[in-house]
Amino acid sequence: MAAFETVPRSKISGRHLRVAVRGGQGRPLLMCNGIGAKLELLAPFLDRLDPAIPVIRFDAPGIGGSELPRVPYNFATLACRLGTVLDDLGYGEVDVLGISWGGGLAQQFAFQHPRRCRRLVLVATATGSLMVPAHPRVLSKMITPRRYRDPAYAAAIAPTIYGGRLRADPGLAEEILSSHSRRASGLGYSLQLLAGAGWSSLPLLPLIRQPTLILAGDDDPIVPVINAKIMHRLMPRSTLYIYSDGHLGLITRADDLGPRVAEFLRPAPVTI
């Protein structure tokens, strides 16, 4: 596994943003994580992603090692500020992957920065406030970061909110979320919820022209798979792949999805 370097100097509006960079060759992949999740969460996926691909990860403001912002933010302002972070790191064009909440941010980044985003990967995500919603019993368990603080609680609710493999093996949720234990910020989590309040990408999707890979689980209680099908129909250059798993399939099916994403990101061969 290639080593990551934490870059403490990156800031958003004067507040430190925890950023980790894996070196490599070619165009970097900027990864936008799910709500409440630290950058370590996707380590199993990165272990299966081609190590030659440079990767940039970050903790959202108020999450993990990133400081709380001075004022609330939304997807548009965060996408703008991520552009500044890329400038600080010396990167121009990037590929972008977003999962769940981070998928909303990734869509906004692709729309706002069309010349900086070459390809887009959207995983277990939807269009924001205008989407086919989860069942209320699932949404009720998403309003606090308790699952990141209490491993036993995470295992208890894993079948209900994550679905897929975690229905049969809920204890796996403890392992996946163990690095977050007792470190999830309630205020940072609330600011992430607020950032997406009222936001929708639905009218923007036909305007996102980047080649896009949409990955969706067929048993995802948080983001029903119909949302991925709607996005695919509205995005002119999208490819849809439905995998047999739940909301955390990027981790639990990393052996399949890691190589699949790498193949999508590789440049097409030049024919002479």
CATH number of the domain bearing residue 239: 3.40.50.1820
Residue at 172 is within a domain: no
Model confidence at 135: pLDDT above 60 = yes
Q: Which residues contact 79 (CB under 8 A, 6 or more apart)?
A: 105, 108, 109, 112, 113
Residue 219: pLDDT band with limits 50, 70, 90? very high
Closest to 20 in 3D by CA, of 45, 55, 49, 50: 55
Q: How far is CA 41 from CA 33, 50, 218, 257, in A?
A: 8, 18, 21, 15
Residue at 155 is within a domain: no
Model confidence at 117: pLDDT above 90 = yes
Mean pLDDT of the chain, nearest integer: 92
Residue 86: pLDDT band with limits 50, 70, 90? very high
Residues noted as catalytic: 100
Q: What's the pTM?
A: 0.94
Mean pLDDT value of segment 131-147? 95
Identify whether the C-beta of residue 167 lies closer than 8 Å to the C-beta of residue 245: no
Residue 177: pLDDT band with limits 50, 70, 90? confident
Mean pLDDT value of segment 205-231? 98
Residue at 161 is within a domain: no
The owner of tokens 């912002």 is 69
Closest to 118 in 3D by CA, of 163, 53, 202, 33: 53
pLDDT for residue 185: 79
Phi and psi at residue 46, in whole multiples of 5°? -65, -30
Q: Domain count for the chain, please give it.
A: 1
pLDDT higher at 213 or 272 = 213
Mean pLDDT value of segment 59-65? 94
Cα torsion at 136, 142, 147, 148 (round to 10°)? 170
Mean pLDDT value of segment 210-226? 98
Residue at 245 is within a domain: yes
Q: Residue 267: helix, strand or coil by DSSP? A: coil
pLDDT for residue 271: 52
Q: Residue 198: helix, strand or coil by DSSP? A: coil
Residue at 72 is within a domain: yes
Q: Is the dihedral of CA 57, 261, 251, 23 positive or negative?
A: negative
Q: Is the dihedral of CA 166, 167, 171, 174 positive or negative?
A: positive
Closest to 60 in 3D by CA, of 18, 25, 4: 18
pLDDT higher at 11 or 43 = 43
Residue at 159 is within a domain: no
Residue at 141 is within a domain: no
pLDDT for residue 181: 58
Domain hosting 196: range is 4-135+186-265
Give the tokens for residue 250: 């990027």
Residue at 160 is within a domain: no
